Amino acid sequence: MTIDLPGLVARHRERALSGALTLAVILALIAQTGGDAGWRAAALLSLLLALASLVFFPAAMLRYRATTLLADPDRRAFTTPPPPGPVLLAMAFTFILVPIIGEDVADLVRGEPWPDQPAGLMSGYALAAAWALSLGPWLRLRLQPGGLRYPTPFGSLTIPWEALDPESPVVPARSPLHGVRLAVTRPDLVRRRGLPPPADRLPVPSVDPEYLGRVIRHYVTHPERRPEIGSAAESARLATVDIPG
């Protein structure tokens, strides 16, 4: 029996980050109250945990390829699962930056003046950004009754079903790293906001591109099924029906 660690991290990203934060805070407290020996032990363990997260990152990004979509009935949408990579990076940032924040907090508690260059404050901003990126809807494709939507931190891309090539809506990618390549025949229908990626290369690292391509083709060629997107019944149907390529 094998444990799908990337899948566990992706499905339980809030718990993974909360656990990393709790452990990092404990190590920061040991570093501040355990003397020189405590500081060295906490620093070494924090570094090892951060390195482990970073070493695990490329394997998780390369190997985790889900063959399911998540139902979101409130938005009437299917979404691709969250990727584990940003969560692992945020965990590494947590193990590295929380001790730095702890140093400044301990100085303030001891009544020392606020430093001219507060490393703890800058670390807090960086940590908040890492958490926001890992918990946000980024690197995920949303399938809706009206089409596809791909949000990014800098904008979004919305592609109606009618904008895709009805014969071959998905172009085979050279490798899974290239994500999903959509064949858009009606670019005038595509709506762009901010700075979205091009439609012919959407990074969706958390799902098997062949499976996602089959699902997209299915809804392009079966418009009568689109109103059911996002429902529990449609999610169960996708899990049991063999969708042709």
Q: State the 10-residue block means of pLDDT for the chain, 245 residues long.
A: 77 95 96 93 97 90 86 93 94 96 84 72 93 92 96 94 93 67 94 89 87 93 95 90 69
Same domain membership, residue 91 and residue 200: no
Look at the block and give the residue holding tokens 């500081």.
39
Asked if residue 206 belongs to a domain, the reply is yes
Contact 57, 130 (CB under 8 A): no
**DSSP symbol at 231:** S
Residue at a domain's end among 119, 135, 151: 135
Site of tokens 């390529």? 245
Specify whether 166 is located in the same domain as 99: no
For residue 113, being part of any structural domain is answered with yes
Residue 129 covered by a domain? yes
Q: Is residue 104 located within the same domain as residue 119?
A: yes
Secondary structure (DSSP) of 144-182: ETTEEEEEETTEEEEEEGGGB-SS--EEPPSSGGG-BEE
Is 232 a member of any domain? yes
Last residue of a domain, one of 135, 150, 168: 135
Whether 47 is in a domain gets the answer yes
Note whether 154 and 195 are within 8 A (CB): yes
Smallest CA-to-CA distance from 85 within 47, 58, 51 is with: 58
According to DSSP, the β-strands at 142-144 and 77-79 are: antiparallel
Query: Is residue 147 within 8 Å of residue 159, measured between CB atoms?
Result: yes
Question: Is residue 78 a part of any domain in this protein?
Answer: no
Contact 183, 171 (CB under 8 A): yes
Quote the DSSP letter at residue 197: P
Nearest to 57 by CA among 87, 95, 16: 87
- One domain, residues 146 and 57: no
Whether residue 156 is found in the same domain as residue 56: no
- Report the 10 Å Cβ neighbour count for 85: 23
Same domain, 130 and 152: no
Q: Give the angle 30-33-37 at the CA atoms, nearest 5°.
A: 70
Q: Which helix (H) or strand (E) holds 51?
A: helix 35-63
Question: Domain end: 120, 135, 150, which one?
Answer: 135
**211 and 129 share a domain?**
no
Please report whether residue 121 resides in a domain: yes
Asked if 127 and 201 sit in the same domain, the reply is no
Residues 196 and 130 occupy one common structural domain: no
165 and 94 in one domain?
A: no
Question: How many domains, the chain?
Answer: 2
One domain, residues 169 and 118: no
CA 168 to chain CA centroid, Å, is 28
Q: Residue 174: its pLDDT value, please?
A: 63
On whether both 170 and 112 belong to a single domain, the answer is no
245 domain residue, yes or no: no
Q: Which residue segment(s) compose the domain that 151 sits in?
A: 142-240
Please state the pTM of the whole predicted model. 0.87
